[in-house]
Amino acid sequence: MPTSFERLVYEKTREIPRGRVATYGEIARVIGRPGAARAVGNALNRNPHPITVPCHRVIRSDMHIGGYAKGADAKKELLIAEGLEIRGDLVIGVPWKF
Protein backbone atom coordinates (compact mmCIF):
# COMPACT_ATOMS: atom_id res chain seq x y z
CA MET A 1 0.00 0.00 0.00
CA PRO A 2 1.57 3.33 -1.07
CA THR A 3 2.18 6.01 1.55
CA SER A 4 0.44 9.39 1.27
CA PHE A 5 3.72 10.85 -0.05
CA GLU A 6 3.98 8.11 -2.69
CA ARG A 7 0.37 8.71 -3.75
CA LEU A 8 1.13 12.42 -4.26
CA VAL A 9 4.20 11.54 -6.33
CA TYR A 10 2.24 9.07 -8.47
CA GLU A 11 -0.65 11.50 -9.01
CA LYS A 12 1.67 14.25 -10.18
CA THR A 13 3.73 11.88 -12.36
CA ARG A 14 0.53 10.84 -14.18
CA GLU A 15 0.20 14.46 -15.37
CA ILE A 16 3.44 14.44 -17.38
CA PRO A 17 2.42 14.29 -21.05
CA ARG A 18 3.71 11.61 -23.39
CA GLY A 19 6.92 12.80 -25.05
CA ARG A 20 7.81 15.14 -22.17
CA VAL A 21 9.90 14.76 -19.03
CA ALA A 22 9.95 16.39 -15.60
CA THR A 23 12.70 16.33 -12.99
CA TYR A 24 12.58 14.61 -9.61
CA GLY A 25 13.02 18.08 -8.08
CA GLU A 26 10.08 19.51 -10.02
CA ILE A 27 7.83 16.71 -8.77
CA ALA A 28 9.03 17.39 -5.21
CA ARG A 29 8.38 21.13 -5.61
CA VAL A 30 4.83 20.79 -6.95
CA ILE A 31 3.74 18.37 -4.24
CA GLY A 32 4.93 20.84 -1.60
CA ARG A 33 8.12 19.01 -0.62
CA PRO A 34 10.97 21.04 -2.14
CA GLY A 35 14.27 19.37 -1.43
CA ALA A 36 12.74 15.88 -1.47
CA ALA A 37 13.93 14.92 -4.97
CA ARG A 38 15.67 11.80 -3.69
CA ALA A 39 12.51 10.71 -1.86
CA VAL A 40 10.58 11.20 -5.11
CA GLY A 41 13.06 8.90 -6.84
CA ASN A 42 12.68 6.30 -4.12
CA ALA A 43 8.88 6.46 -4.40
CA LEU A 44 9.04 6.03 -8.17
CA ASN A 45 11.39 3.07 -7.76
CA ARG A 46 8.55 1.40 -5.80
CA ASN A 47 5.91 2.37 -8.39
CA PRO A 48 3.42 -0.52 -8.46
CA HIS A 49 1.72 0.71 -11.68
CA PRO A 50 4.36 1.65 -14.30
CA ILE A 51 1.76 1.57 -17.10
CA THR A 52 -0.50 4.21 -15.52
CA VAL A 53 2.23 6.05 -13.57
CA PRO A 54 4.85 6.79 -16.25
CA CYS A 55 7.86 7.03 -13.96
CA HIS A 56 10.20 6.73 -16.97
CA ARG A 57 9.28 10.37 -17.71
CA VAL A 58 11.02 11.63 -14.55
CA ILE A 59 14.69 12.50 -14.94
CA ARG A 60 17.55 14.11 -13.02
CA SER A 61 17.87 17.89 -12.81
CA ASP A 62 21.04 17.73 -14.95
CA MET A 63 18.89 16.20 -17.75
CA HIS A 64 20.47 12.74 -17.42
CA ILE A 65 17.91 9.96 -17.54
CA GLY A 66 18.62 8.71 -14.02
CA GLY A 67 17.56 5.40 -12.56
CA TYR A 68 14.71 3.11 -13.47
CA ALA A 69 13.55 -0.10 -11.82
CA LYS A 70 13.84 -1.99 -15.13
CA GLY A 71 17.25 -0.48 -15.94
CA ALA A 72 18.54 2.65 -17.64
CA ASP A 73 18.46 1.08 -21.11
CA ALA A 74 14.75 0.29 -20.76
CA LYS A 75 14.06 3.86 -19.61
CA LYS A 76 16.01 5.25 -22.56
CA GLU A 77 14.09 3.02 -25.01
CA LEU A 78 10.74 4.20 -23.60
CA LEU A 79 11.73 7.87 -23.86
CA ILE A 80 12.98 7.43 -27.43
CA ALA A 81 9.75 5.60 -28.34
CA GLU A 82 7.84 8.67 -27.09
CA GLY A 83 9.83 10.91 -29.43
CA LEU A 84 12.44 12.35 -27.08
CA GLU A 85 15.98 12.93 -28.29
CA ILE A 86 18.63 11.23 -26.15
CA ARG A 87 22.41 11.55 -26.54
CA GLY A 88 24.23 9.03 -24.39
CA ASP A 89 22.10 9.23 -21.27
CA LEU A 90 21.30 12.93 -21.66
CA VAL A 91 17.77 14.07 -22.59
CA ILE A 92 17.86 16.90 -25.11
CA GLY A 93 15.15 19.51 -24.56
CA VAL A 94 13.39 21.44 -21.84
CA PRO A 95 11.75 19.63 -18.91
CA TRP A 96 8.00 19.91 -18.29
CA LYS A 97 6.88 22.50 -15.73
CA PHE A 98 3.59 22.05 -13.88
Condensed to tens digits (0 to 9), the pLDDT of residues 20-54 reads 999 999 999 999 999 999 999 999 999 999 899 99
Largest distance between two CA atoms of the chain = 37
Instruction: List the domain boundaries for the chain.
Output: 4-92
Backbone phi and psi for residue 59, each to the nearest 5 degrees, phi listed first:
-130, 175
Instruction: Report the predicted TM-score, pTM, of the whole model to 2 decimal places.
Output: 0.95
**Could you tell me where the beta strands, DSSP code E, fall in 40-81?**
58-59
Whole-number Å distance between alpha carbons of 42 and 24: 10
67, HSE (Cβ side, Cα atoms, 13 Å): 13
From 2.160.20.80, 3.30.565.10, 1.10.10.10, 3.40.50.970, which CATH number describes the 4-92 domain? Answer: 1.10.10.10
Give catalytic residue positions: 55
| Residues 9-20, mean pLDDT to the nearest whole number | 98
The per-residue pLDDT for 86 is 97
Whole-number Å distance between alpha carbons of 66 and 54: 14
Q: Give the length of the chain.
A: 98
